[in-house]
Structure 1
């Protein structure tokens, strides 16, 4: 991939792209640059498009059996993380969020406690709540602009609330924190000790920046694998969200049986035809090269925003991602209230970002924060910085 190609802009508003179509509903105006929902304003890889186009040469788009090649592409992709996956362990979901909604239903009963670590991707908070489970929070600690786990508080919450299930965001969203092996081992040990099933959302794993290395929770040991459900998808890395594709990897036969039973109850069992084609093209050696080049582009965008903030808005703390293209911004020293921050971003900077409060849960750990999506062409990155610069006069 020629990185210069990423300067090209595409008209997504004309094709009902969610981040454009919902501007009025979310921000009260269409006059904002949408940098919120986690898909890219960058093209899906050409080799994925070509694979789909080749299939379209056949005039029938009927029911399609999922071939062994689809399963094998997923298993082969995980090898780069030292994670050995077998075909029989893979269960298809419609996306990763759908995957942990299914897990909540499969492994808990109404009234049971499900543990989350805010600030966190909002569906983590919604999945237990919408299924009449109790949401138990063990908030992350912010130390020196980097999130840490309070392991004592984590275990205390499990014991006191009789937690049955832990929804783990790995790498962390919204902060882009890449959890280290020793941290994973501590979490896993606590969960094993208290018989808490771990559901590990690893959808951002492919976008881990060196020297950080993604370590799948289930790869730590056979015992931990038996207690872990891993969720992932090529959707984020290759901009395939519209194909609605996710998968669970479940080594424990009993956990898999319960998961499949729940999925079958709502007739979720296979991917659509184009998802099957896309994953085989994406999860390839060509896909790895594409991903590696894409990470270079993301780093350039991080550099641009970081440099601007350091000079023009030094009170705003940018949490540089260790994984993913999503950036968590701390505006608390710049604005007195969250409402003032939202008003300034929409009316003056004309930027549509993810509201930090939606990630915070009862702990309100997202108040004063915003999440910005930097998977954009260089030209859009420059436009966003220009709009921030122009809005400085009214702070």
Structure 2
């Protein structure tokens, strides 16, 4: 029997949660949506945070002063505990740069280690802000698109070798585990990517925000541990936001092992005014990265795996025209609607607008996302079942 109740419904409509308010959805999709929507878009979960995090935030609130704060020894002890417990890695606290978000860290890295006009490699379909950041900073998006074979994605290493060899391409943003396709890259895949980049002087910025959400049969490998010298050629971006549903606490950790690179990154963080910490976030992270947080996570993974299986079974039984492969990691499902014959506009109209199941349209993730939907399964099983029923009705009409 599970200790934590992930079936408990929490009313998020009475707070300012973006996911559950029609205004942000309308702004995001540029369409009208139903008031009785089932929101499965933005990547946070509908579960209560771990009790240890809730208690830590409450205790801090009782201190009555919420001024500027900085991470202390307890914070760094918690982060290093997590890597030791989950991965058997002894992490040097000096390598940890505390930032408000992973997206902010990637933004700073692009600005610190490339120049306007230079190329940044990404692997689409992938989390849209990667391309957005590259364009907004005046750099060039270079797509090393993933290859899909029978629903399972792999990297195109042959093309990557060609792209990395071009002197104008200076940096690669890796999504590991991958959002939205749900791959947990193997050590061998990461090693091959890392060698190609190292040999061509391409810096790897590894977004590992989903690294704790990995299902049985798969294992996340922190990029810098793949080979001994990779630490000199990478930046690793992590955060507790996805793991513990604390994205609003605005805390992330960037791991940089080369002192000179760390200095350049820190200078850019200060230039972008990203060096102010969240008072409650510091307490929340220290509480989350603990044995109590780990116990909660293990039960969460069991529940999320059950949700992924529900989607698999429902697709097989009721949606034969939809292709779906269970994710190896993340709480995101990638549905391929190509065989329905519907266009992207028709998919959006039927599923998001008429059915009111707010998924992320596949084109948001770039080339290769056409006629796909990303479905967030970080919700109660009852809500997920209701969403799948609506999707089935919308596609069968």
1:385 has 2:388 as partner: yes
| Residue from 79, 82, 87 that aligns with 1:81 | 87
Give, in angstroms, the shift of residue 389 of structure 1: 3.7
1:61 has 2:66 as partner: yes
Task: Tell whether the 8 Å contact from 2:314 to 2:388 is kept in structure 1 after alignment.
Answer: yes
| Residue from 35, 53, 59 that aligns with 2:40 | 35
Give, in angstroms, the shift of residue 74 of structure 1: 1.1
**Structure 1 residues 92 and 162, CA gap change in structure 2 (3 angstroms):** same
Q: Equivalents in 2 of 1:392, 1:64: separation in Å?
A: 51
Question: 1:48 maps to which residue?
Answer: 53
Task: Tell whether the 8 Å contact from 1:141 to 1:147 is kept in structure 2 after alignment.
Answer: yes
Once the two structures are superposed, the pairs formed by residues 120-139 of structure 1 within 5 Å of their partners are: 120-139=126-145
Q: Equivalents in 1 of 2:182, 2:312: separation in Å?
A: 15
Q: Equivalents in 1 of 2:352, 2:3: separation in Å?
A: 30
Q: Equivalents in 2 of 1:151, 1:69: separation in Å?
A: 41
Q: Equivalents in 2 of 1:291, 1:4: separation in Å?
A: 10
User: Normalising by structure 1, what TM-score?
Assistant: 0.95
Question: 2:112 maps to which residue?
Answer: 106
**Structure 1 residues 230 and 393, CA gap change in structure 2 (3 angstroms):** closer
Q: Equivalents in 1 of 2:4, 2:317: separation in Å?
A: 27
Task: Tell whether the 8 Å contact from 2:34 to 2:353 is kept in structure 1 after alignment.
Answer: no
| Residue from 199, 202, 214 that aligns with 1:208 | 214
Once the two structures are superposed, the pairs formed by residues 297-376 of structure 1 within 5 Å of their partners are: 297-360=303-366, 364-376=367-379
What do you get for the CA RMSD once the two structures are aligned? 1.5
1:232 has 2:232 as partner: no
Describe the SS at the equivalent of 2:54: helix
Task: Tell whether the 8 Å contact from 2:191 to 2:227 is kept in structure 1 after alignment.
Answer: no
**Structure 1 residues 61 and 148, CA gap change in structure 2 (3 angstroms):** same
1:197 has 2:199 as partner: no
Q: Equivalents in 2 of 1:327, 1:199: separation in Å?
A: 24
Deviations 1:75-115 (A, max 9, x none): 22112223332111111111111110111001001111100
Give, in angstroms, the shift of residue 148 of structure 1: 0.5
Give, in angstroms, the shift of residue 346 of structure 1: 2.4
Task: Tell whether the 8 Å contact from 1:24 to 1:30 is kept in structure 2 after alignment.
Answer: no
Task: Tell whether the 8 Å contact from 1:85 to 1:249 is kept in structure 2 after alignment.
Answer: no
Question: 1:140 maps to which residue?
Answer: 146
Describe the SS at the equivalent of 2:340: coil
Q: Give ranges in structure 1 of 5+ residues lacking alignment.
A: none
Give, in angstroms, the shift of residue 239 of structure 1: 0.4
- Equivalences, count: 391
Answer with 76-85 or 29-38: which moved more. 76-85
Q: Equivalents in 1 of 2:379, 2:47: separation in Å?
A: 6
Q: Equivalents in 2 of 1:271, 1:221: separation in Å?
A: 32
Task: Tell whether the 8 Å contact from 2:33 to 2:356 is kept in structure 1 after alignment.
Answer: no
Q: Give ranges in structure 2 of 5+ residues lacking alignment.
A: none
Q: Equivalents in 2 of 1:392, 1:127: separation in Å?
A: 34
**Structure 1 residues 186 and 211, CA gap change in structure 2 (3 angstroms):** same
Task: Tell whether the 8 Å contact from 2:209 to 2:239 is kept in structure 1 after alignment.
Answer: yes
Task: Tell whether the 8 Å contact from 1:77 to 1:284 is kept in structure 2 after alignment.
Answer: yes
Question: 2:187 maps to which residue?
Answer: 181
Once the two structures are superposed, the pairs formed by residues 237-248 of structure 1 within 5 Å of their partners are: 237-248=243-254
Q: Equivalents in 2 of 1:65, 1:29: separation in Å?
A: 41
Answer with 58-67 or 203-212: which moved more. 58-67
User: Normalising by structure 2, what TM-score?
Assistant: 0.95
